[in-house]
Amino acid sequence: MLNFVIKKTAPSNQECTENVNFKNMGEFCDDILYDNKRNEGVIIGLNGPSASGKSTIAQKMCSEFTSKNYHSIVFPLDYFLFNRINRFNLINNPDTKSRIMHYLFDSWDITRFCSYLNEIFQAINGNEEKIIHLNNIYDRKTGLTNAQANLFILPKSIIIVEGTEAINCLTESYYDVKIKI
């Protein structure tokens, strides 16, 4: 069984712990939909350590929402990692005072990520479908930032943002639901 620490921004804005597994994932997703009384798009932040199952959980949630006839997509923070050589140089920089903070905010392009997150927020709460073109995103196979992707966004879509630092001081205001593993 997976343990989620969930902070819902609406309606109660209180943290609660909920046990979720793949058998009751549908009920968990129903709760998220039920809490969305304003009938707008939903952005879910899914945060957790490396190899904790974030991508698997995000894909399962996406499948559940899709089975309920909601347009949903996963938006991985990994798209905005710098290439491997730049990250290695940043992490091993002897002038870095706080290597943890340096790694969290300098190993990925938070400015571009927030810009796209803002564009997604506007699209899901708008009235028209939109294609968001992502250029120069990280490619895990090559370690370079030369890949491309397109996000097809419909109004009232459900977006699941997942990553080791998906929920942080610069992004948390975008999320309707925050999940920490």
Q: What is the DSSP string of 46-82?
A: EE--TTSSHHHHHHHHHHHHHHTT--EEEEEGGGGBP
What is the band of 162 on the pLDDT scale with cuts at 50, 70, 90?
very high
Candidate from 1-5, 21-25, 65-69 with smallest mean pLDDT: 1-5
pTM over 0.85: no
Do residues 64 and 180 make contact, with C-beta atoms less than 8 angstroms apart? no
How far apart are the C-alpha atoms of 26 and 12, rounded to whole Å? Answer: 21
Residue 139's Cβ-side half-sphere holds a number of Cα atoms within 13 Å equal to 10
Lowest mean pLDDT among 6-20, 34-48, 49-63, 122-136: 6-20
DSSP 3-state of 102:
helix
Contact 125, 64 (CB under 8 A): no
Q: What is the C-alpha separation between 63 and 50, in angstroms, rounded?
A: 22
* Chain position carrying tokens 């639901």: 177
Q: Cα 85–164–79 angle (5° rounding)? A: 55
Closest-CA residue to 103 (of 158, 177, 164): 164
- pLDDT tens, 26-61? 888 888 887 776 678 899 999 888 888 889 899 999
Give me the residue spans of the domains in the chain: 2-180
Local confidence band at 11 (pLDDT 50, 70, 90 cut-offs): very low
Compute CA 21 distance to the chain's CA centroid, rounded to the nearest angstrom.
19
Percent of the chain with pLDDT over 90: 30
Across the range 164-181, mean pLDDT stands at 86
SS3 state at 11? coil
Give dist(CA 61, CA 66) in Å, integer: 9
Q: Is the pLDDT of residue 100 over 70?
A: no
Binned at pLDDT 50, 70 and 90, residue 19 comes out as low
SS3 state of residue 146:
strand
2-180 under CATH 3.90.25.10, yes or no: no
